[in-house]
Structure 1
Amino acid sequence: MTDQTGQTRQTGRIRRTRWRAAGTAAVVGAALTASVTPSVAAPAEAPRTSTTVTAAAAAGVDYDTWQRDCRAVMDGALPYLKERIDGSAPGEKQAIVLDIDNTSLETDFGFSYPQPANRPVLEVAEYAQEHGVALFFVTARPGIVEAPTEWNLAHAGYESSGLYVRGFLDLFKDVAVYKTEQRAGIESKGYTIIANIGNSATDLSGGHAERTFKLPDYDGQLS
């Protein structure tokens, strides 16, 4: 495994780690290289969802396959977003909600800090940003890493209008319920969530978005 400068990436193995809320500031940087493992929830009825089916082997997925599959989903999302943004009602405050790990950032493949952007998602986000759409990030990451996560998103090229991380009490909630509550809160601020982008059912279930776009997680192999 090497960085994105063109060197060969390690393939065939996906490292999955868990965030540890306990610790001191000295471990925050290390924690950012780990991914969140969401709790499992039965998906609730959700808006129309776009997804990609892959033939990924159960043993693992290589980086190039993941990027190709992510781009296929985002290539389907962009025409919808262009049409929806162009057809916005006067005064409508549009927003997109994004998951972070293995959605906005390369978590399981980006073993460094700052973690690099997931390019297919960033390109769609940049189009939305340029056309006045607010970006909100809803993650299961704990509050202890809020500041470095916010910096990482900005460094990667995202213009965040709000970052939602789990507080202490949120750690005891089902992740899908927690994320649904955050989207409802964004709507209560007057935003219309035109798209919700994530790689897990817990990112997308529960409604409060006009359309959802699911990136691959290969039956839970990616956090």
Structure 2
Amino acid sequence: MPRLPLSRRTRPALSRRTRLAGAVVAALAAGTAVFGAGQATAEHSVPRTDKEIPNLTQVQDKIKAYYGDTVTADGEHYASPTSNYARQVRGIEATARTYLTGALGKHKPAGKARPAIVLDMDDTTLLTYNYELKVGFNFTPKSQDDYLAHTDMAPVFGMNQLVNWAHEKGAEVFFITGRKEAQRDWSVRNLKNVGYDVPLDPAHVFLRDKEHPPAYLPCGATCSTVDFKSGTRKHIASLGYRIVANFGDQYSDLLGGSADRAFKLPNPMYYLP
């Protein structure tokens, strides 16, 4: 899906998101969305009329349909494993598995850098859909804290199996997330509870620590998303690993190098520069 060019703005603490419906962002970037007969499709940085702006309610309805919105008896919303979202994710995973089968087989000789994969957390390994519907796509740090403290997010369909398989095939697994350090215990609990059977100690799970940024990040507490994630990947590589694959749902998860190949997971719910 077309995206806005990635901004290099510094984002305070990474937990503060630029909350734009992904479909709205994509539509404005591509200038091709039509939500109703006769609506304009021209691209302008500042819309000249309302007809250049997709209707937010209709965008949310499309997002729900894409995820196969399923509502339980107690009013909770979940994505469907038969949704178009799930099908798209599984197609990406199949491509990744084929690639990793070859990539991991190349790194067995002694003396070679150890193969590794790196993954983002939200909407790459853990699905935020239930949270997003609960808060009406209106992220706040407090609502995220309240949710993560008491609720486990479901795994992104099939990603736990892919990660566990890659680990069994010899890949070291690392997570790099913009979640803050104070959310570590909740995040690790969630990953364990939904079947990520890989090491989840601090050496393998990197969260954003604004108060005590690691020395290997020259930008410290002021790192942009791209700087934080690419700098952490560079640090992992310096420990003797070759990152054969990097998985993320945002382009800011993937830019900056230090990985052989990037896999972009779909996420039309929000955009993070």
**What is the TM-score of this pair, normalised by structure 2?**
0.58
Residue-by-residue CA offset, 1:61-84 (whole Å, 9 max, x unaligned): 323222111111111111000111
Q: Which amino acid aligns with 2:270?
A: Q
1:62-101 to structure 2, matched below 5 A, reads 62=67, 63=79, 64-91=83-110, 92=112, 93-101=114-122
- Mapped to 1, the partners of 2:177 and 2:16 lie a distance apart of 11
The alignment status of 1:221 with 2:221, answered yes or no, reads no
Q: What fraction of aligned residue pairs are identical, expressed as a percent?
A: 28
Instruction: State the distance in 2 between where 1:37 and 1:66 align.
Output: 25
Match of 2:25 in 1: none
- The aligned counterpart of 1:103 is 124
Alignment partners' CA distance in 2, 1:89 and 1:131: 10
Paired with 2:15 and 2:164, the residues of 1 have a C-alpha distance of 25
Q: Which residue of 2 aligns with 1:195?
A: 245
2:16 and 2:125 mapped to 1: Cα distance? 16
**Stretches of structure 1 lacking an aligned partner (at least 5 in a row):** 1-19, 22-34, 41-56
Q: Deviations over 1:34-86 (max 9, x none)?
A: x956569xxxxxxxxxxxxxxxx843232322211111111111100011112
Return the offset for 1:217. Answer: 1.8
| Larger RCO of the pair (alpha carbons < 8 Å, separation 6+) | 1
Q: Which runs of 5+ in 2 are unaligned?
A: 1-11, 20-57, 68-78, 135-146, 212-219
Amino acid at match of 2:119: L
Cα shift at 1:221: 3.3
Cα 1:214/1:166, change in 2 over 3 Å: same
Distance in 2 between the 1:137 and 1:202 partners? 15
Is 2:233 the partner of 1:183? yes
Distance 2:206 2:94 in 1: 26
Pick closer, same or farther for the CA change 1:102–1:180 going to 2, 3 Å.
same
Q: 1:160 aligns with which of 199, 205, 215?
A: 199
Q: Could you tell me how far 1:197 is from its partner in structure 2?
A: 0.4
Task: Give the match for residue 179 of structure 2.
Answer: 141
1:174 aligned residue (218, 224, 227): 224
Amino acid at match of 2:250: S
Taking the aligned partners of 2:120 and 2:249, their CA distance within structure 1 comes to 8
Q: Look up the match of 1:51.
A: none
